[in-house]
Structure 1
Amino acid sequence: MKSIFAFILLTLSTFTMADTWDEISKEGKITLGVANERPYGYLTPMGEPAGEAPSIAMYVLDKLGVDDVEVVVTEFGSLIPGLKAGRFDVIAAGMYVNPKRCKQVLFSNPTYTIGEGFLVLDGNPKGLHGYGDVKKADGVKMGVMAGAVEFGYAKKFGVPLDRIVTLPDYPAGVAALKAGRIDALAGTSLTMAQLAQKDERVELAQPFDELKIEGESVKGYGAFGFRKGDETLRDNFNRVLDGFLGTEQHVSMVEEYGFGKHTLPGDVTTQELCN
């Protein structure tokens, strides 16, 4: 009786632990999650996937024989919960790899590295050129996107919590900046530059003081995210990425989004970033 019961438990465990890749490879269908954030991952007005991460993902999936790709748009802070809940199979949003996130999801090898930047009102009336300016200036507030790394950066840097305003997304951040609710919007330099191009009332803060925390230069490394247990899917992505990143085809593919040879991640590994 015990042996039968043990067999049933083993069978159920095997069924529930089935790798997502088995289903994807059979059906040829996969779902990507994006946060509609240019230039990392978004949908065009025609509903087509675009941005650095979806473009690379489409190339990888084609090489893996997966030709039916659906894209789900959600807020950045809902990407990991949505992945874990099964709303999509891969986070294709240029998400930074860090130890906290590594406890919740698997990451591919990084596909790019980039530094930070501020979006400010035209003319930069408060003279904000880095986190240090926000830290030392009474009454100045900086905005960060919910779920993004900038909140942690500001906290570790020593910016008082009452000067950090959390916003649901970057359009809300731009609106808050123009309305005077915040004095600077923090994000990656690429995202801030993209937002500045869309509205003449705001600009990218230049020059920008390199962000350093505890003496270490802070740069983000973006990668694809997968559910725990989907190692095969992650490994298949990595296998294709290893032979693609840094090639002429890769560089030309991402240049229109502001990426290129200057944003290649080099020899930095996900294991190092997770540790």
Structure 2
Amino acid sequence: MVRILTLMFLGLFSAFSLADTLDDAKASGKLTLAVANEIPYGYLSSDGEPKGEAPEIALHTLKALGIDDVEVLVTEFGSLIPGLKAGRFDVIAAGMYINPKRCKQILFSNPTYTIGEGFLVKNDNPQSLHSYEDVKKNGDLKLGVMAGAVEFGYAKDYGIALDQIVTLPDYPSGVAALKAGRIDALAGTVLTMAELGKKDDAVMLAQPFEDLVIDGKKVNGYGGFGFRPGDERLRDAFNEHLAGFIGSDEHIALVEPYGFGRHTLPGDVTAEQLCTP
């Protein structure tokens, strides 16, 4: 009797395991995305419309998969992976960088773009900060980074002292800290820092900026979509669509308004390569 019950249980478990997010979404036509309200990667406009590189590509992909009813939620960047794993949404569409540490927690699509780093500084760049090296060599300087973003690891790996690194919940808090003098520079992707500089007359993108090099390798981030472990079929469906879409004229026209284009194409780099330490 125990064996029969066990087999019955395993059979039920197998049946349930066959149903996954892709099946559910195709059946209902519904799926939920999450963004971190970071321009130009993924955000909601003032009238609540999803905007940015990642939502544009995600909505295009989901439509191709027959999924038209898409809800877009906003959460802090540091809450994206915990929220995905907890089932509060189905896909991270925030332009999240793919790296081995994150790959241990969630699945990633192949990348849709690559981009370098930049600093936001006060107008006229009073400390003449043009690189991570400029911060490292002056122990009195403070570098702001967003919680959950890769810049904390970049600064640490580059050798910047931990007491020089200030973690902030989001980029608006970073801009406020910069203007108040609590930090001397705010680190992030060059597109994000440029966008923040356009919005506030008191700050600017540090230019020129030296490429960040760690262990002899130029650091370029590659961003893609995040999925829960177990949602391999949904991830694979995304990848299948992206393979024929990324780099097409339609793709370029979709993302150019956000500062992306042929100059940010990821080439042949795959998530598998980026997940390998």
Question: In which range does the TM-score fall when normalised by the shorter chain?
Answer: over 0.9
Q: Pairwise mapping of residues 202-217 of structure 1 onto structure 2 (< 5 A)?
A: 202-217=203-218
Instruction: Read off the aligned partner of 2:3 and give its amino acid letter.
Output: S
| Counterpart for residue 224 of structure 1 | 225
Instruction: Read off the aligned partner of 2:118 and give its amino acid letter.
Output: G
Compute the displacement of 1:12 (Å). Answer: 4.3
Q: Distance in 1 between matches of 2:84 and 2:239?
A: 19
Instruction: Read off the aligned partner of 2:6 and give its amino acid letter.
Output: A
Q: Is 1:35 the counterpart of 2:56 in the alignment?
A: no
Q: Is 1:2 the counterpart of 2:2 in the alignment?
A: yes
| Counterpart for residue 256 of structure 2 | 255
Instruction: Report SS of the residue matched to 1:165.
Output: strand
Unaligned runs of 5+ in 1: none
Compute the displacement of 1:19 (Å). Answer: 1.4
Q: Distance in 2 between matches of 1:203 and 1:67?
A: 39
| Counterpart for residue 136 of structure 1 | 137
Instruction: Read off the aligned partner of 1:205 and give its amino acid letter.
Output: A
Compute the displacement of 1:21 (Å). Answer: 1.0
Instruction: Report SS of the residue matched to 1:95.
Output: strand
Q: Pairwise mapping of residues 81-160 of structure 1 onto structure 2 (< 5 A)?
A: 81-160=82-161
Q: Distance in 1 between matches of 2:12 and 2:202?
A: 59
Q: Structure 1 vs Structure 2: percent identity of aligned residues?
A: 68
| Counterpart for residue 53 of structure 1 | 54
Unaligned runs of 5+ in 2: none
TM-score, length-scaled by structure 1: 0.98
Instruction: Read off the aligned partner of 2:43 and give its amino acid letter.
Output: Y
Give the number of aligned pairs.
Answer: 275
Q: Distance in 2 between matches of 1:44 and 1:81?
A: 24
Instruction: Read off the aligned partner of 1:200 and give its amino acid letter.
Output: D
Instruction: Report SS of the residue matched to 1:193.
Output: helix
Compute the displacement of 1:142 (Å). Answer: 0.4
Answer yes or no: is the 8 Å Cα contact 2:141–2:183 preserved in 1. yes
Moved over 4 A (4+): none
Compute the displacement of 1:13 (Å). Answer: 2.6
Q: Distance in 1 between matches of 2:15 and 2:136?
A: 52
Instruction: Report SS of the residue matched to 1:100.
Output: helix
Instruction: Report SS of the residue matched to 2:222.
Output: strand
| Counterpart for residue 182 of structure 1 | 183
Q: Is 1:73 the counterpart of 2:85 in the alignment?
A: no
Q: Distance in 1 between matches of 2:106 and 2:6?
A: 30
Instruction: Read off the aligned partner of 2:20 and give its amino acid letter.
Output: D
Compute the displacement of 1:22 (Å). Answer: 1.3
Q: Deviations over 1:210-249 (max 9, x none)?
A: 1000000000000000000001111111111111000011
Instruction: Read off the aligned partner of 1:263 and give its amino acid letter.
Output: T
TM-score, length-scaled by structure 2: 0.98
Q: Distance in 2 between matches of 1:113 and 1:127?
A: 26
Instruction: Read off the aligned partner of 2:4 and give its amino acid letter.
Output: I
Name the Cα RMSD after superposition.
0.9
Answer yes or no: is the 8 Å Cα contact 2:144–2:166 preserved in 1. yes
Q: Distance in 1 between matches of 2:149 and 2:157?
A: 14
Q: Deviations over 1:66-116 (max 9, x none)?
A: 010001100000000000011100000000000000011000010000000
| Counterpart for residue 199 of structure 1 | 200
| Counterpart for residue 11 of structure 1 | 11
Q: Deviations over 1:158-215 (max 9, x none)?
A: 0000000000000000000000000000000000000000011100001101100000
Q: Deviations over 1:35-86 (max 9, x none)?
A: 0000000001111100000000010011001010001100000000000011
Choose 225-234 or 11-20, whichever is displaced more.
Answer: 11-20
Q: Distance in 1 between matches of 2:24 and 2:7?
A: 24
Q: Distance in 2 between matches of 1:122 and 1:234?
A: 43
Q: Distance in 1 between matches of 2:20 and 2:10?
A: 16
Compute the displacement of 1:6 (Å). Answer: 1.9
Instruction: Report SS of the residue matched to 1:39.
Output: coil
Answer yes or no: is the 8 Å Cα contact 2:139–2:161 preserved in 1. no
Q: Distance in 2 between matches of 1:45 and 1:92?
A: 18
